[in-house]
């Protein structure tokens, strides 16, 4: 059996105001072609289907259109799990309808272990025989596993979290092996595992700064392959067949440093999984231009790309003092290129940076003002730390943990949302000059 593992599509994403809808459309077309060309039997999408919990109509249309086309392909099954960016209930809502198309969706996991069997998704071959089983585990907030990060120290939190995940995957392996013995077992996960670097993720999940990354030991060894999501580059965890596939398109400038991949996984009973990276074509360039104003203008005028979609450009302009005309000057430089509008590069971000001081004053301090980092370069936690510092608030472990609980809380509110309040009725009183109310 051949499996294709992908994750972190982030449908509906924009990059500093530039829509990625065209990028995703090209990827999804390419993915369907690859499924046919590579004789793929099962497609696994390991979370973060959408970029936000309430995706646009266009993003949802892309998702359902793809699933409809996938259902008519050679695939024996499609398995989709929710990520930390997804709404669990939104993904789960059409699960029964999609199940009739052999599209198996698990958006979220409840706290009750008796409900976890819904993660087990058998894949049936042409004769209706089960040829593999997927333990489709979505993103699981630690709250759902009974872990409370605010009630213990970091060491205790790490131990509880690892124990809880180990128990979850062991239970699913026990149930799958008992019901469908002798077939390949596959698991999914949307989490931060060993091998992830700090700059691999923007949003911390599972209190990663306190609890650390999760080890490969949480995955039961009976799983022949583990398909992970959340980290946006493709790599394996330790020496076992536990892989991140990464995002299929670069979703921020840093992600252009490594190629984008999906993973092709060949599975046979009794043999080790064979994993091969399959590179995704480059649909658009993300470009960083640096220098003074004249240099960046010149670079914009000479910028070329052989990708089918126009580049997204980031400009870092060195200035002696704030220059209010930089943005307009760079837009004029783009207009002078003479490109057709649909192929004109998108100027996403223009950032001004102070020119370095002369060598003679570099060590003296002088009166140069500190260059503060751009808000775009700070994570929510960085902003919170700075705010506490400016207000003289002591940032201890308990306060930081409480902030992270708010930032990365359960994907669905545990309390019912308050009913919207009706707008108050208003009466307008007009007075005439003689004081009589009108």
Which one, of 56, 10, 88, lies nearest residue 414 by Cα?
A: 88
CA distance between the termini of the chain: 82
Same domain as 337, residue 191: no
Is there a domain that residue 223 lies in? yes
C-alpha 100: how far from its chain's center?
28
pLDDT band with cut points at 50, 70 and 90 for residue 15: very high
**Domain closes at, from 251, 279, 307:** 279
Same domain as 296, residue 200: no
**Hunting for tokens 């994403």 — which residue is that?**
13
Distance CA 41, CA 39 (A): 7
pTM over 0.85: no
| Paired tokens of 70 | 């996938």
Measured in degrees and rounded to the nearest 5, phi and psi for residue 295 equal -65, -40
For residues 355-376, average pLDDT? 57
Is there a domain that residue 388 lies in? no
**What was the pLDDT predicted at 426?**
55
Same domain as 191, residue 314: no
- Per-residue pLDDT tens for 228-239? 999 999 999 977
Same domain as 146, residue 67: yes
Same domain as 318, residue 273: no
**Domain closes at, from 333, 354, 375:** 354
For residues 280-289, average pLDDT? 96
Is there a domain that residue 413 lies in? no
Question: Where do the H-state alpha helices sit in 82-207?
Answer: 88-92, 95-99, 154-179
Report CA Rg, the chain: 26
Residue 229, CA atoms < 13 Å, CB-side half-sphere: 32
Spatial neighbors of 138 by CB under 8 A, at least 6 apart, are 47, 81, 82, 83, 86, 88, 106, 107, 108, 109, 188, 190
- Per-residue pLDDT tens for 197-233? 877 876 778 766 666 788 999 999 999 999 999 999 9
Same domain as 139, residue 52: yes
**Is 168 within 8 Å of 137 (Cβ atoms)?**
yes
Is there a domain that residue 87 lies in? yes
Same domain as 297, residue 187: no
pLDDT band with cut points at 50, 70 and 90 for residue 438: very low
**What was the pLDDT predicted at 383?**
83
For residues 278-289, average pLDDT? 97
User: Average model confidence (pLDDT) for the chain?
Assistant: 86
For residues 307-334, average pLDDT? 93
**Domain closes at, from 279, 311, 331:** 279
What is the layout of strands, in order, in the sheet containing 103-106?
103-106, 77-81, 42-46, 2-6, 261-266, 274-279
**Hunting for tokens 């022949």 — which residue is that?**
224
Is there a domain that residue 393 lies in? no
Distance CA 371, CA 374 (A): 9
Distance CA 193, CA 213 (A): 5
pLDDT band with cut points at 50, 70 and 90 for residue 398: low
**Hunting for tokens 């049936």 — which residue is that?**
124
Same domain as 115, residue 60: yes
Q: What percent of the chain has pLDDT over 90?
A: 65
- Rounded (5°) CA angle 190-196-202: 70
**What was the pLDDT predicted at 50?**
98
Q: Which residues sit opposite 352 in a β-bridge?
A: 317
- Write the CATH number for 145: 3.60.21.10
Spatial neighbors of 294 by CB under 8 A, at least 6 apart, are none
What residues make up the domain containing 319?
A: 285-354
For residues 11-40, average pLDDT? 97
Distance CA 104, CA 43 (A): 10
Q: What percent of the chain has pLDDT over 70?
A: 84
**What was the pLDDT predicted at 414?**
39
Spatial neighbors of 355 by CB under 8 A, at least 6 apart, are 292, 318, 319, 320
Q: How many CB atoms lie within 10 A of CB 357?
A: 13
Same domain as 150, residue 125: yes
* Least confident range of 82-96, 170-184, 281-295, 424-438: 424-438
Q: In this model, does residue 408 exceed pLDDT 60?
A: no
**What was the pLDDT predicted at 340?**
84
Is there a domain that residue 412 lies in? no
Same domain as 293, residue 273: no
Same domain as 177, residue 211: yes
For residues 171-175, average pLDDT? 97
Is there a domain that residue 16 lies in? yes
As for how many domains the chain has, the answer is 2
Is there a domain that residue 389 lies in? no
pLDDT band with cut points at 50, 70 and 90 for residue 143: confident
- Write the CATH number for 319: 3.30.160
Distance CA 341, CA 261 (A): 30
Q: In this model, does residue 58 exceed pLDDT 50?
A: yes
Q: In this model, does residue 176 exceed pLDDT 50?
A: yes
Distance CA 282, CA 284 (A): 6
Same domain as 306, residue 180: no
pLDDT band with cut points at 50, 70 and 90 for residue 415: very low
């Amino acid at each position: 059996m051949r499996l294709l593992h992908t994750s972190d599509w982030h449908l509906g994403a924009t990059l500093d105001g530039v829509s990625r809808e065209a990028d995703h459309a090209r990827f999804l077309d390419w993915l369907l072609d690859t499924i046919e060309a590579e004789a793929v039997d099962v497609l696994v999408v390991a979370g973060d289907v959408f970029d936000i919990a309430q995706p646009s109509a266009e993003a949802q249309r892309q998702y359902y259109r793809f699933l409809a086309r996938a259902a008519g392909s050679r695939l024996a099954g499609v398995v989709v799990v929710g990520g930390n960016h997804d709404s669990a209930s939104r993904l789960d809502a059409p699960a029964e309808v999609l199940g009739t198309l052999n599209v198996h969706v698990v958006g979220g996991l409840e706290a009750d272990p008796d409900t976890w069997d819904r993660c087990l998704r058998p894949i049936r071959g042409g004769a209706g025989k089960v040829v593999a089983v997927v333990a489709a585990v979505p993103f699981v907030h630690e709250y759902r596993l009974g872990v409370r990060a605010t009630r213990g120290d970091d060491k205790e939190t790490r131990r509880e979290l690892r124990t809880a995940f180990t128990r979850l995957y062991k239970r699913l392996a026990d149930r799958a092996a008992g019901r469908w013995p002798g077939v390949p077992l596959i698991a999914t996960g949307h989490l931060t595992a060993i091998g992830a670097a700090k700059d691999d993720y923007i949003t911390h999940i599972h209190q990663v700064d306190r609890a650390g990354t999760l080890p490969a030991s949480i995955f039961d060894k009976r799983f022949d392959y583990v398909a992970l999501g959340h980290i946006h580059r493709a790599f394996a965890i330790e020496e076992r067949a536990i892989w991140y596939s990464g995002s299929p398109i670069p979703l921020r400038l840093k992600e252009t440093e490594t190629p984008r991949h999906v993973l092709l996984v060949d599975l046979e009973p009794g043999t080790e999984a064979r994993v091969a990276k399959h590179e995704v074509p480059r649909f658009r360039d993300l470009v960083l231009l640096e220098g003074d104003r004249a240099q960046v203008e010149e670079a914009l005028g000479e910028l070329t790309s052989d990708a089918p979609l126009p580049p997204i450009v980031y400009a870092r302009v060195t200035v002696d003092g704030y220059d209010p005309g930089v943005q307009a000057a760079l837009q004029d430089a783009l207009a002078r290129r003479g490109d057709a509008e649909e192929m004109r590069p998108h100027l996403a971000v223009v950032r001004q940076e102070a020119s370095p001081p002369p060598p003679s004053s570099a060590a003296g301090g002088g009166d140069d003002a500190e260059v503060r980092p751009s808000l775009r370069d700070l994570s929510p936690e960085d902003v919170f730390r700075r705010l506490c510092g400016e207000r003289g608030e002591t940032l201890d472990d308990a306060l930081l943990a409480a902030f992270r609980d708010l930032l990365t809380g359960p994907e669905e509110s545990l309390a019912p949302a308050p009913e919207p309040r009706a707008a108050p009725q208003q009466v307008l009183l007009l007075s005439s000059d003689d004081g009589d109310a009108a």
